[in-house]
Amino acid sequence: MGRVARSYGTTRVAWAPSSADKGYAKAQSELGIAYETGRGVERDEALAVIWFARSLGDGDDAPKNAAMFLGARTPAAKQQAALQLLIKLGYAAGVPAAMAVEVFRRSEGLSDADGVDDALLVALARKQWAASHPS
C-alpha cells in the first residue's frame, strides 16, 4: 500500500494507511478519498471503493453512509473492486465472476440482486478485512 499523506495547514500527517489497517473508519474513508483522487498514491477507483466499503459502520447510519461513499462510484470500479475481493477470499478461483458473486451472496445470507450492489461490496470488504486481521 502506498504512503498517504494529508496536509492540515503546514503539518503533514501520514496516519491513514496504518490507522486504516487497524480498522479506524475515518482513516479508511480518508484512504478511499486518496485513491479516488490520486492524492499521495496512484489513482485507483477499485481500491477507493474497497476502502470506502470497509469504512462503513454497522450502525443506523450505515445505509446513508453507503449511499454517500459508494453511490457515486462507477459500475466498472464497483465490479473491479468486487472481483478483487472475491479473488482474495477464494470465491473466484476458476469460476465466472457472476457465479462467484452468487455463491458469496448465498454463503453470507445476502438478498439476491443483479450484479454488484453496495451491500455486496460492504460484505466483501468486511469479510476480507476480517480474514486478514484474525483476532
Walking along the chain (135 residues) 10 residues at a time, the average pLDDT comes out as: 43 58 82 84 88 73 69 86 91 89 92 84 87 76
* Predicted pLDDT of residue 11: 30
* Predicted pLDDT of residue 135: 65
The whole domain housing 84 covers: 6-132
Query: Is 105 within a domain?
Result: yes
Query: Is 13 within a domain?
Result: yes
Query: Is 1 within a domain?
Result: no
Give the three cell numbers for residue 5: 499523506
Q: How many distinct structural domains can be found in the chain?
A: 1
* Predicted pLDDT of residue 12: 34
Nearest to 78 by CA among 109, 107, 113, 108: 113
* Predicted pLDDT of residue 90: 92
CA of residue 50 relative to chain centroid, distance: 2
Query: Is 46 within a domain?
Result: yes
Query: Is 59 within a domain?
Result: yes
* Predicted pLDDT of residue 14: 56
* Predicted pLDDT of residue 10: 29
Query: Is 74 within a domain?
Result: yes
Query: Is 128 within a domain?
Result: yes
